[in-house]
Every structure is written in C-alpha cells, then in structure tokens.
Chains A and B, each alone.
Chain A
C-alpha cells in the first residue's frame, strides 16, 4: 500500500497523523484569510521550504501540484477580466498554497497511517460505525482492485481478439456481470474462512 507516499524519515514523516491533519486544516484556513499579496508570498515561501525539509523528490511534488496549475491557467485570466489582476493573483496564490499543503500531507503519510487516523476519528461514533469492520472492508477492497482490473483487461482483450471494437455497452455489461460473480465468490470464500458475523 504505497500509494502516493514518498518514503522518508523527516520530521514531517514522523509526526503523528492526526496532528498533521490538524495543522493542515489550520494552515489552509490561515492561507484563506491572508489579504495582502506579500503575506501570501511569505506563506508560499514557507510551504515551499517544507518540501526540501521533507525530502520530497521534485518529480513527486510536481505530480501533485502540476494539475492545479493547468486549472489556474484557465481560471486566472477569467478572474482577472472579471475583477482585476490582483484578486486573480491572490486567488491563485491561496489555491496553490492550500493544494501544496494538502499534497505535503499525502506525500509524507503512509496510506496505512491515514486509514488508522480515519479509524481513530471514527471512534467517537462506534455506536454506529464498527471500525474493525471498516478496516476489513478496506482490506478486501484493496484485494479486489487488481481482481477487477484483471476483469477489465480480459474483457478488453476478448473484444480485441474478436475484432469487435464495440461500444462502451459491450465493455460494461460483461465487466459488471463478471464483477458481480467475483463478489459472490469472494463472499463465499469469506464465509468459508470464518467471517460470518
């Protein structure tokens, strides 16, 4: 379960997940209320400085932050036309800072740690939510992803073998039906292996 995590031992990597989450939320709020361009520049500088501290490779960072730049490429001119360049720049800066903060969290926290964090957050609600069962469901889903990906690939290949390019429908029906059969088989295996609660 590596995901987007970028392995490392920095302070950011070692900080408790929920603390990081709290700081992240506070950071996003703080960036959101900054009204002066220079304040925002400082904030952006601090956040950018955190990346080398965390030892995140530039490529991994770019993968996270790149997509937002494309959106800004469209949004900033529109915003500038509507209300001027300064508000447009402020908006872009805030958004960039917030995305970079959130990405930093994702890059320095393992999926397992985040899921444990989620479970901890769920604990006050354990009258309604069975955290153990949620964990189980997460694990089964992770197992099912390659299984379903394989079903999709096989259906695509079968289609190609028959030379029928076919419609989306000809792809979706067998994929859904075979996925449902797989669900039945997995359900049966779970029962056979002792999950009957």
Chain B
C-alpha cells in the first residue's frame, strides 16, 4: 500500500468493499433454486470488487478481507476463519485465486469502460472470476488431496452454475453502478495526470455524485 497513491476516499472504498465481502458471507452458504449445491455470495463480492473498484482498489479490498480472515476473524461464509483455510485446507487455493481473479477483472474492466459492453464484460468477469480462480484452486485441491487434476476439476464443477450466475450478476450490477457513479475506476491516462496535479491539495474527498438525501 504505497501510501501516497491512495486517497482517503480510496481507503474508504477499499475498507467498505472488504466489509462487503464479509457481509455477503453472513447469510452463510445458500441454495439458489434449481441448484442443489450451496453457493456462497462471497465470490460475488470478489467479482464486484474488481468490476466496480478496478484492479488496484479491488485487489487491496480482497487482500484486506483475506488478511482479517487469516488473522482469525470468522468472516468466511458459515463463520469460518483462521490460518488453516489459507495453509492446509484443500480449498486454500481458491482464496489465493481471488487475488488473481480480482486483478484480472479489474484490469480488463478498466479497458472496457466507459462503454462496458455486456458480452466482453461478461468474458472478462468469467476469465477473472471463474477461470483464474479455478486455475489456482483446482491444482491446490488436487495436490492436498492427492487427486488427479481431473478429479479435482470434477469436484469443483459443482460450483460452476452458481459462479456463472454470479458473473452475470456482477456485470449487470457493475453496468448500473458505473452509470450512476462514474469515475470509480480511473482511466490509465488519467491516473498519472491526476496524481501529478492533486498531490499539493491534500483533500481528495469531495464527491462527484453524492446522494441528495445525505
């Protein structure tokens, strides 16, 4: 966290999204209609962090959430937490996969904005939120349980329908949010320009779109 490049507003957004991922774990694993496999909403939070906040802020939000969980707060869905989930658990890889996933979604999303067309956005979200996460999660499961990769993959595939729904929801949500609330993800070019001009005026909080009911 190179202190100088994150504004106070960035910090608040990072904290809120880390908290959002935690809050989405509160209902615990839930079953969605036809799918018999319980899904947790926390991966939805991870995908949203990338698609709404972008790579940098989204990454820090996920990292922060994971650090608090590793430290022993029961923030994973179903009140789980602690170091075991990051070290020895067969599903540990998925948690590290979140970090890669949020980066990929965030980076690709920043390239798709401001238009954010549906199909490319869905492709970006699936690539980051499913492919990347499984790419780390599945081999780790295979390794810890001494299963062949295909075995672990078959095991993981039961989560696929739920994750696909979450990817679609993420894109639909991010679309509406970026329209209602532009400027969440700075454009590449704009980043360097604004950080050069905004350093002397240390206040970066005035908000472009405040709720009129605040």
Contacts and interface: CB of A to CB of B under 8 A. Distances in A.
A–B contact, 8 Å CB criterion (strictly below): yes
Interface string A49-92: 00000000000000110011001001100110011000110010
Contacts of B24: 152
Interface string B42-71: 001000100010000000100011011011
B18 interface: yes
B88 interface: yes
A141 B59 CA distance: 15
Interface string A90-128: 010001001101110111011100110010000000001
B81 interface: yes
Contact of A130 (B1, B18, B71): B1
Contacts of B14: 137, 141
Given A114-B70, A138-B64, A152-B23, A182 B16 contact: yes
A141 B18 contact: yes
A110 to B, nearest CB: 8
A5 B82 CA distance: 9
Contact of B11 (A5, A91, A168, A187): A187
Contacts, number: 216
Contacts of A78: 145, 147, 151
A15 interface: no
Interface stretch (B101-109, B117-125, B168-176): B168-176
Q: Does more than half of chain A's interface fall in helix, strand or loop, or is it mixed?
A: helix
Interface in B128-155: 144-148, 151, 155
Given A64-B84, A197-B202, 17 more contacts: A3-B74, A4-B74, A24-B83, A67-B80, A78-B151, A95-B145, A102-B83, A103-B84, A114-B71, A141-B64, A152-B26, A168-B44, A172-B48, A182-B16, A184-B205, A184-B210, A191-B8
Interface of B: 1-3, 7-9, 11-20, 22-24, 26, 32, 44, 48, 52, 60, 64-65, 67-68, 70-75, 79-84, 87-91, 144-148, 151, 155, 165-166, 169, 172-173, 176-177, 180-181, 184, 202-203, 205, 207, 210-211, 214
